[in-house]
Chains A and B, each alone.
Chain A
Amino acid sequence: MRTYGIYVLRRFGQFVLVVFIGINVAFLITHSTPIDPVEQAISSATQFGFSDPTAVEQLRQSLRELYGVEGTFWEKYIHFWTRLAVGDFGPSLSAFPTSVSALIGRALPWTIGLLTTSTLISWALGNFLGGLAGYYRENRILKAIGIVATGLQPIPSYIMSLLVLIMFGFVWPIFPISGGFQMNLSPELSFAFVRSVVEHSILPVLSLVLITIGVWFIGMRSIVSNIVTEDYVLYAELAGVDRHRILASYIMRNALAPQLTGLTLSLGAIFNGAIITEFVFGYPGVGTLLVRAVGTGDYSLVLGITSISIIAVATGVFIIDVMYPLIDPRVKLT
């Protein structure tokens, strides 16, 4: 158990490092670009006909205070971290006077739900089918799935979502293509509402699953086809162990460990994909919020979402890391 403690501590160190470097990158970007974020925000805001000079001057004044552009480099740096620590990114410009934290807090559950559902489906299904394909190499159906997976793997999120949208929005319109739930329903725990949420999530989840399943399938297939040639598998076969048992507990279980590591490594990329997919389907999550914030010139919202995303992904990685001993108990023992 002590070794597990050390393991968790090391992973926590990595978590802190990811958050630290990520937030520093965000800080450097916002403070080293030649563009003054305040002027940028004002020019974006006044673009849409908001140009009473005294109001602009007031806006400029309050933004300068808010963003902490006054003071030395270190003062600004400390200011940045303090605001992050208390989760205060100031009010949103486009949805004034709602605070940025409230907007993100409202959107984050949607993103987390979408991300968890699609990742679980894709990872489980991809690994299961990939494992079968690696073990039963001559199976026709599995070979066909392999070809489809190879074709799906390189297609990036936006194109995949667009294809799904065209498929089920224009060619064969059977699912709702936009939003998180039906407009006339109020968010409550009723059957109609839950059903509407599930219906609206089908297409985004489908796109996300299609984007990532190829990676898990192909990865698992190649790992399993390597393990199959190991002596202990041959021995188990000769000893008459049931083939299903060989596949499940002798081969798949061993192959899952690198696949779980792969999941932690690609969590950032999966998150990127979710953001883009949300934007395509107008899903009320962080991604749609981010794209809208960029469109309306809402600087504090963009910065807030960037920071929260970094922390959210790092947390996700940490959670998976902590669960790692479930699949590979050696972490606990040695």
Chain B
Amino acid sequence: MLRILRDLFRYNREFAIGATLVLMIVALSVASFFSPYPTLSTYVVPPDIPPSWAYPLGTNSRGQDVFWQLSASMRNSLLFGISVAFISRIISLVVGLTSGYLGGFADRVLMSINDTFVVMPLFPILMLFFFLMHDNMSWPLLALAMAALGWPYDARLIRSVALSLRTREFTTQSVFSGMSTPRILIEEHLPYVLPIVFATTMNNINWSIGLEVTLSVIGITNIETPTIGTMIYWANQHTAMVAGVWWWVLAPVATVVMTFIGLFLLAVSMNEYIDPRSRLARMEGSR
């Protein structure tokens, strides 16, 4: 395992850059536990100070230190993204594996529903939902709703792999030795699709953080919790760009762009890891 990581780091530039970016983001998030100020309080430092030695990323118009605010926001956004990705992975695994294994009518029905969700404009639907929930909005509910909509693309991907596993001999053997369908899916087929699931997880985290940012900026999430989105929301409320407090907007935007690119590159290199031939080709090429 370590050797694979080392090889990936040495020969795969995407993995090296992606892993470095993600490590930096994780370090920033962990730093939030050492914050000298409570993240929710305002006017703990003088407002609107540009980046300096005392305040590395400056302070905002609400009297908060942008660095520590950013750290807590990144942690919350990341945790949110991971929870959405985790829940939606379960749904897409269940749908993808079942559909691919059962085939026939069940497959056609599941995939029709799947394709419907793929082309559906999710954003207006989410807006409608949050508009109605308004005062009852909470982050777990938001995560659940987004997970319920974020699975279909990856379910199709998992299904395409499961479809090819169905005709393999070991599946036939498991059926003949009397294994139940759920057990075949979990014990025999799941290990084959896990690498793809990891790659799609990264993309799904990106997707959910992106949506979180958008919904927060519009102001229909719980804007009191510091996240990347609510940070930009408050900056917009105080017209930070017009007032010249550019560091308040730039800090979360730059950080979240780093996160997106880092996770995306990890997903790309993960796909390469899944196909060992291309990994070998790359190692030969750089020698």
Q: State whether these chains interact.
A: yes
A interface residues (Cβ-Cβ under 8 A, vs B): 14, 17-18, 21-22, 25-26, 29-30, 33-35, 37, 40, 44, 150-151, 153-159, 162-163, 166, 169-170, 264-265, 267-269, 271-272, 275-276, 279, 290-291, 294-295, 297, 299, 302-303, 305-306, 309-310, 312-314, 317
Known: A156-B206, A156-B260. A33 touches B121 (CB 8 A): no
B122, A29: Cβ atoms under 8 Å?
A: no
Q: B208 to chain A: closest CB distance in Å?
A: 10
Measured in the bound complex, the distance between the Cα atoms of B219 and A303 in whole Å is 18
Known: A158-B217, A275-B124, A312-B121. 6 other contacts (CB 8 A): A33-B133, A155-B257, A158-B210, A158-B213, A159-B256, A163-B253
B interface residues (Cβ-Cβ under 8 A, vs A): 14, 112-113, 115-125, 127-134, 136, 153, 203, 206-207, 209-211, 213-214, 217-220, 232, 241, 246, 249, 253, 256-257, 260-261, 263-265, 268
- Collect the chain B residues with CB atoms within 8 Å of residue A317's CB: 119
A17, B116: Cβ atoms under 8 Å?
A: yes
B132, A37: Cβ atoms under 8 Å?
A: yes
- Collect the chain A residues with CB atoms within 8 Å of residue B134's CB: 35, 40, 44
Interface residue from B121, B136, B232, B241 paired with A34 (Cβ < 8 Å): B136
Measured in the bound complex, the distance between the Cα atoms of B230 and A19 in whole Å is 33
Measured in the bound complex, the distance between the Cα atoms of B260 and A15 in whole Å is 33
A306, B124: Cβ atoms under 8 Å?
A: yes
Measured in the bound complex, the distance between the Cα atoms of B14 and A54 in whole Å is 65
B123, A272: Cβ atoms under 8 Å?
A: yes
Measured in the bound complex, the distance between the Cα atoms of B261 and A156 in whole Å is 11
Q: A226 to chain B: closest CB distance in Å?
A: 11
Q: A205 to chain B: closest CB distance in Å?
A: 19
- Collect the chain B residues with CB atoms within 8 Å of residue A156's CB: 206-207, 209-211, 213-214, 260
B249, A157: Cβ atoms under 8 Å?
A: no
Q: B78 to chain A: closest CB distance in Å?
A: 15
Q: Which of B116, B209, B263, B265 has the most CB of A within 10 A?
A: B116
Q: B120 to chain A: closest CB distance in Å?
A: 5
Q: Specify the chain B residue showing the minimal Cβ separation from A314.
A: B119
- Collect the chain A residues with CB atoms within 8 Å of residue B116's CB: 14, 17-18, 21-22
Measured in the bound complex, the distance between the Cα atoms of B218 and A317 in whole Å is 28
B268, A268: Cβ atoms under 8 Å?
A: no
Measured in the bound complex, the distance between the Cα atoms of B258 and A155 in whole Å is 9
Q: Specify the chain B residue showing the minimal Cβ separation from A214.
A: B264
- Collect the chain B residues with CB atoms within 8 Å of residue A297's CB: 131
Q: A33 to chain B: closest CB distance in Å?
A: 5
B132, A29: Cβ atoms under 8 Å?
A: yes
Q: Specify the chain B residue showing the minimal Cβ separation from A264.
A: B119
Q: Which of A21, A29, A275 has the most CB of B within 10 A?
A: A29
The prevalent SS among residues of B at the interface is helix
- Collect the chain A residues with CB atoms within 8 Å of residue B265's CB: 150
Q: Specify the chain B residue showing the minimal Cβ separation from A34.
A: B136
Q: B257 to chain A: closest CB distance in Å?
A: 6
Interface residue from B120, B123, B210, B268 paired with A159 (Cβ < 8 Å): B210
Measured in the bound complex, the distance between the Cα atoms of B120 and A313 in whole Å is 7
Q: Specify the chain B residue showing the minimal Cβ separation from A271.
A: B121
- Collect the chain A residues with CB atoms within 8 Å of residue B261's CB: 151, 154-155
B253, A157: Cβ atoms under 8 Å?
A: no
A22, B120: Cβ atoms under 8 Å?
A: yes
A29, B128: Cβ atoms under 8 Å?
A: yes
Give 3 nearest A-B pairs by CB, closest first.
Answer: A156-B210, A154-B264, A272-B123
- Collect the chain A residues with CB atoms within 8 Å of residue B249's CB: 162, 166
Measured in the bound complex, the distance between the Cα atoms of B116 and A291 in whole Å is 25
Measured in the bound complex, the distance between the Cα atoms of B112 and A14 in whole Å is 8
Q: List 5 A-B contacts (CB under 8 A).
A: A18-B116, A154-B206, A155-B257, A295-B218, A309-B121
- Collect the chain A residues with CB atoms within 8 Å of residue B123's CB: 271-272, 275-276
Measured in the bound complex, the distance between the Cα atoms of B125 and A150 in whole Å is 29
- Collect the chain A residues with CB atoms within 8 Å of residue B232's CB: 162
Measured in the bound complex, the distance between the Cα atoms of B127 and A155 in whole Å is 21
- Collect the chain B residues with CB atoms within 8 Å of residue A306's CB: 124-125, 127-128
- Collect the chain A residues with CB atoms within 8 Å of residue B210's CB: 156-159
- Collect the chain B residues with CB atoms within 8 Å of residue A157's CB: 210, 214
- Collect the chain B residues with CB atoms within 8 Å of residue A155's CB: 257, 260-261
Q: B250 to chain A: closest CB distance in Å?
A: 8
- Collect the chain B residues with CB atoms within 8 Å of residue A294's CB: 127, 130-131, 218, 220
- Collect the chain B residues with CB atoms within 8 Å of residue A276's CB: 123, 214
Q: A317 to chain B: closest CB distance in Å?
A: 5
A302, B127: Cβ atoms under 8 Å?
A: yes
B119, A303: Cβ atoms under 8 Å?
A: no
Measured in the bound complex, the distance between the Cα atoms of B207 and A269 in whole Å is 11
Q: Specify the chain B residue showing the minimal Cβ separation from A155.
A: B260
Measured in the bound complex, the distance between the Cα atoms of B268 and A154 in whole Å is 11
Q: Specify the chain A residue showing the minimal Cβ separation from B118.
A: A265
Known: A154-B260, A157-B210, A264-B119. A290 touches B124 (CB 8 A): yes
A166, B241: Cβ atoms under 8 Å?
A: yes
- Collect the chain B residues with CB atoms within 8 Å of residue A269's CB: 122
- Collect the chain A residues with CB atoms within 8 Å of residue B136's CB: 34-35
Known: A33-B133, A317-B119. A17 touches B112 (CB 8 A): yes
